[in-house]
């Protein structure tokens, strides 16, 4: 008798496995390499899907991941094994070459030269000083379009006639023979030399041979001739140049060529960036004015002063420049840095808030993939299938060895646990940050890659002990489980017998509660309970809410705005709130209850509570921004100290992307808030 097995109608359909190979490759290429390989455990169909990878990134993050399980000298063996399993073309290869045998690198480059390689990056790892002599097989990679080299010796053989398809070249601390530099890359459109140190000088005449250049970035000291006229000579040979970026560090500009006006103008150049300008150097200022005058169609101008030129003399004027001949410029954007009394730098002691730039394509890709996998897992019956979302949620084990200057370890407290991040600091009395992660109460944990990295950066930047809480998730555990878990961690830390779980220099009287998204909601309610509870040792003196997850019955304008739908969508917030509420019926449980609409009609009265000073971070492309603004107004009207910082073009969760300048700025913002509150607390105590 033949038995047949029918798939259950409740089993979710596997949409991803049935996708074409090129689509699966596109998805795999956007995952961290270790997570792409881990897809082999999903099912029999996925066992070798990872071999479709076309992009391999072996950077310091990958090496740090491997160091937990393998000896650091095993990296070369791991790379060799991975390469042997790949089936198709390999379009991108990124390698941090320490500590790897040079012969291994030579074999890999030979292998890649036969795989249609188009994008190659070779850079040194932290702590490695010796330059790498590039293998001759590199010069067989004739399909290369993008090449980035750091701390290398670039010495092509005499028989090499150049990279015919190369479009971009970035050199950092690279030693090369500049005599034939211009003949090696006839199609080059972008040249960037990103370090003034340990880099060979390039002849201006060789740069002038790159007639297709559209973007040129140079350190003036890397040119054989530092006369200002040299730049005009180079530009005159580059008819397609649109962006010019010059750095004057370690450059003693001579005045040759500045007293005589350049006879030509260059209408193609749209962007000019001048860095490390010495405002006390007349030759440099005259040169800058002359360049601006010579680029009549300039749209973007950025000038960064050198450190010792930070305070220019008011009204300074140089007779070499004829201001009446500058004409009307088409400038649409002007950025001035390190200048006192300049509007776009209100606080000289804080890192500058970054100007707005388009989001990198990699960020768009990661958001799209994450949202797609989340939506696949949100089922109409209220169940969450986390299998596919876990593909882009790499789990990072605790590491007692410092990574980026911060070590970590886990502490279990039934029924949850937390991870402690400890900076390499000898300072006594470090503040303690209790952190609640985001994820709609449904995803992530302290061991998730984005939040392990974020807490590590907080610990390093602020110099604080960070306690990242793993609260239980919905829908398996509904309200009020998350709030009970969050507050129980504070009570655990307050108990003197548990103080040994923290480093000896942890100061619980300087305690801060942090939270992002759903964790920001959780952090708010934990602070309410903390202000009503008599702790023996803990004193919560600050709350940081990063894009906190609030809501209400009536849709906010930001929730209905199409341009804001980046990073978090309405279907997701509705799902989270629906499965968050208690199963037991409650007539008052709607989105206007005090848990969700914290500043709504049933809000908790804070007027009599010692609620801590609060910093709220808002993103202008977050669908929750209106609820967050309302929260700030409510805190202020309740007589509480509140600060709000908005990043106009940022999406929900942007702070977990360390490659964004805005994410770096958040670290500085939070650090300043923490130490301001510590200073206020110390001052108050000294007066008692």
Q: What is the pLDDT of residues 15-43, one digit of tens each?
A: 667 778 888 888 888 888 888 888 888 77
Q: Which residue has the higher pLDDT, 470 or 376?
A: 470
Question: Which residue matches tokens 């609060």?
Answer: 614
Pick the range with the lowest mean pLDDT from 92-106, 243-257, 301-315, 593-607.
301-315
> What's residue 258's pLDDT?
42
Whether residue 583 is contained in a domain is answered as yes
Range of the domain at 448: 372-686
User: What pLDDT digit, counting tens, does each position of 151-163 carry?
Assistant: 888 888 888 888 9
How confident is the model over 542-552, as a mean pLDDT? Answer: 97
Residue 587 — pLDDT band, cuts 50, 70, 90?
low
Query: b vs e for 312-324, b when ≥16 Cβ sit within 10 Å of the residue's Cβ?
Result: beeeeeeebbeee
- pLDDT greater than 50 at residue 326: no
Q: Which of 202-211, 390-399, 521-530, 580-589 has the highest mean pLDDT?
A: 521-530
Whether residue 180 is contained in a domain is answered as no
User: What pLDDT digit, counting tens, does each position of 428-465 carry?
Assistant: 789 999 999 999 999 999 999 999 999 999 999 999 99
Q: In CATH, what number is assigned to the domain containing residue 501?
A: 3.40.50.1820
d(CA 284, CA 281): 5
Q: Are strands 465-470 and 416-423 parallel, antiparallel or unpaired?
A: antiparallel
> What's residue 477's pLDDT?
93
CA quadruple 25, 27, 32, 36: dihedral, nearest 10: -60
> What's residue 313's pLDDT?
40
Q: Which residue has the higher pLDDT, 88 or 67?
A: 88
Q: What 3-state class would DSSP assign to 26?
A: helix
> What's residue 535's pLDDT?
95
Q: Are 83 and 89 in contact (CB under 8 A)?
A: no
d(CA 213, CA 240): 6
Q: Which residue has the higher pLDDT, 286 or 321?
A: 286
> What's residue 283's pLDDT?
76
Dihedral sign from CA coordinates of 423, 426, 431, 432: positive
Whether residue 269 is contained in a domain is answered as no
> What's residue 40's pLDDT?
83
d(CA 31, CA 432): 33
User: What pLDDT digit, counting tens, does each position of 98-133 carry?
Assistant: 667 788 888 899 999 889 999 999 887 655 557 788
Residue 63 — pLDDT band, cuts 50, 70, 90?
confident
- What single DSSP character describes residue 366? H
How confident is the model over 201-217, as a mean pLDDT? Answer: 86
Whether residue 37 is contained in a domain is answered as no
> What's residue 322's pLDDT?
47
Burial of 73 (0-12, 13-18, 19+ CB in 10 A): exposed
How confident is the model over 67-75, as a mean pLDDT? Answer: 68
- pLDDT greater than 60 at residue 2: no
How confident is the model over 63-83, as a mean pLDDT? Answer: 76
How confident is the model over 604-625, as a mean pLDDT? Answer: 94
User: For residue 236, which of 273, 284, 268, 194 has the smallest C-alpha distance?
Assistant: 268
> What's residue 316's pLDDT?
40
Q: Return the active site residues.
A: 517, 622, 652
Whether residue 517 is contained in a domain is answered as yes
Whether residue 620 is contained in a domain is answered as yes
Question: Which residue matches tokens 């603004």?
Answer: 629
> What's residue 573's pLDDT?
93
Whether residue 669 is contained in a domain is answered as yes
When the pLDDT of each residue in the chain is averaged and rounded to a whole number, the result is 82
Q: How many domains does the chain have?
A: 1
Q: What 3-state class would DSSP assign to 660?
A: coil
Whether residue 289 is contained in a domain is answered as no
Q: Are 277 and 245 in contact (CB under 8 A)?
A: no
């Amino acid at each position: 008798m033949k038995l047949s097995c029918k798939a259950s109608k409740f089993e979710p359909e596997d949409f991803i496995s049935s996708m074409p190979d090129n689509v699966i490759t596109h998805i795999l290429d956007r995952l961290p390499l270790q997570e792409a390989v881990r897809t082999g455990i999903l099912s029999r169909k996925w066992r070798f899907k990872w071999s479709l990878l076309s992009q391999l990134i072996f950077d310091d993050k990958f090496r740090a991941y491997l160091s937990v399980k393998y000896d650091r000298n095993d990296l070369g063996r791991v790379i060799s094994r991975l390469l042997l399993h790949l089936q198709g073309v390999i379009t991108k290869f990124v390698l941090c070459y320490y500590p790897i045998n040079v012969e291994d690198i030579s074999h890999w480059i030979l292998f890649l030269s036969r795989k249609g390689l188009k994008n190659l990056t070779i850079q040194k790892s932290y702590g490695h000083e010796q330059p790498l002599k590039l293998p001759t097989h590199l010069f067989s990679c004739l399909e290369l379009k993008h090449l980035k080299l750091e701390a290398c010796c670039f010495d092509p053989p005499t028989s090499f006639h150049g990279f015919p398809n190369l479009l971009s070249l970035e050199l950092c601390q690279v030693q090369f023979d500049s005599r034939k530099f211009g003949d090696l890359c006839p199609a080059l459109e972008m040249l960037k030399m990103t370090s003034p140190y340990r880099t060979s000088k390039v002849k201006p005449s060789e740069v002038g041979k790159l007639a297709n250049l559209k973007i040129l970035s140079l350190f003036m000291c890397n040119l054989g001739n530092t006369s200002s006229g040299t730049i005009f000579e180079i530009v005159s040979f580059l008819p397609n140049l649109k962006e010019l970026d010059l750095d004057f560090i370690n450059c003693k500009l001579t005045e040759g060529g500045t007293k005589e006006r350049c006879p030509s103008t260059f209408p193609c150049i749209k962007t000019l960036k001048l860095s490390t300008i010495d405002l006390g150097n007349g030759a440099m200022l005259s040169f800058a004015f002359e360049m601006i005058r010579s680029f009549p169609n300039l749209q973007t101008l950025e000038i960064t002063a050198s450190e010792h030129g930070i305070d220019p003399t008011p009204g300074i004027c140089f007779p070499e420049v004829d201001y009446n001949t500058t004409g009307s410029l088409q400038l649409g954007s002007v950025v001035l840095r390190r200048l006192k009394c300049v509007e776009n730098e209100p606080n000289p002691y804080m890192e500058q808030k970054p100007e707005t730039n388009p989001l990198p394509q990699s960020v768009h890709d990661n958001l799209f993939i994450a949202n797609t996998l989340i939506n696949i897992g949100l089922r109409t019956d209220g169940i969450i299938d986390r299998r596919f979302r876990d593909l882009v949620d790499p789990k990072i084990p605790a590491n007692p060895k410092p990574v980026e200057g911060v070590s970590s370890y886990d502490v279990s407290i039934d029924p949850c646990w937390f991870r402690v991040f400890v900076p390499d600091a000898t300072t006594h009395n470090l503040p303690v940050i209790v952190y609640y992660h985001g994820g709609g109460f449904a995803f992530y944990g302290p061991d998730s890659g984005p939040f392990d990295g974020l807490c590590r950066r907080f610990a390093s930047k602020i110099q604080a002990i960070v306690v990242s809480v793993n609260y239980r998730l919905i829908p398996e555990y509904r309200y009020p489980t998350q709030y009970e878990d969050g507050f129980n961690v504070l009570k655990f830390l307050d108990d003197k017998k548990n103080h040994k779980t923290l480093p000896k220099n942890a100061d619980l009287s300087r305690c801060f509660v942090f939270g992002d998204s759903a964790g920001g909601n959780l952090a708010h309610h934990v602070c309410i309970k903390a202000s009503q509870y008599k702790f023996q040792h803990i004193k919560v003196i600050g709350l940081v809410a990063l894009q906190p997850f609030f809501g209400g019955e009536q849709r906010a304008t930001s929730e209905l705005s199409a341009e804001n739908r980046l990073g978090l969508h309405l279907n997701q917030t509705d799902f989270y709130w629906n499965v968050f509420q208690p199963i037991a019926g409650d007539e008052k449980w709607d989105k206007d209850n005090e848990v969700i609409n914290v500043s709504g009609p049933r809000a908790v009265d804070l007027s009599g509570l010692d609620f801590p000073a609060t910093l709220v971070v808002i993103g202008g492309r977050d669908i929750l921004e209106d609820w967050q603004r309302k929260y700030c107004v409510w805190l202020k009207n309740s007589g509480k100290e509140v600060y709000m910082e908005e990043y106009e073009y940022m999406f929900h969760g942007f702070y977990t992307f360390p490659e964004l300048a805005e994410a770096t700025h958040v670290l500085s913002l939070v650090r300043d808030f923490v130490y301001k509150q510590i200073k206020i607390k110390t001052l108050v105590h000294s007066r008692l």
